[in-house]
Amino acid sequence: MNAATDRQWAVRDAVLRWLLAKTTEGYRSPILDADAIGETVGWAPAPLTRDEVADASNYLYREGYVTGVPVMGIGIPRPMLTMAGRRVAKRERPLRRAMRGHDVVS
């Protein structure tokens, strides 16, 4: 894997952890916000971009980890964790590892 692919997986993990944190706080479908996600999960690398967060939300939607209404160019603006997404997020394992046994597509 290369650095760009590693970052893509890390962004997916960050969005999933952020959604779990927001759900725990009582926000069932928070508005996607790259800055808020980075702040909540303690994102240390270069700041998250809106495009990265949109791509991550689309990926999580396709995999059945979130539900919501896809919007072109925005991703899932108000994602909600599904039960599967909650289970994966609570495991605190990287998504890439959780996907073993599936065909991993970046």
Give dist(CA 32, CA 55) in Å, integer: 11
| Residues in Cβ contact with 58 at an 8 Å cutoff, skipping those fewer than 6 apart | 70, 75, 76
Residue 70 pLDDT = 94
What residues are paired with 66 via a beta bridge? 81
- Which letter, b or e, does each residue of 24-47 get, where b requires 16 or more Cβ atoms within 10 Å of its Cβ? eeeeebbebebeebbebbebeeee
Domains of the chain from N-terminus onward: 3-101 (1.10.10.10)
Q: Specify the pTM.
A: 0.88
80 close to 18: Cβ distance less than 8 angstroms: no
Mean pLDDT per 10-residue segment, the chain (106 residues): 91 97 94 95 93 97 96 94 95 78 46
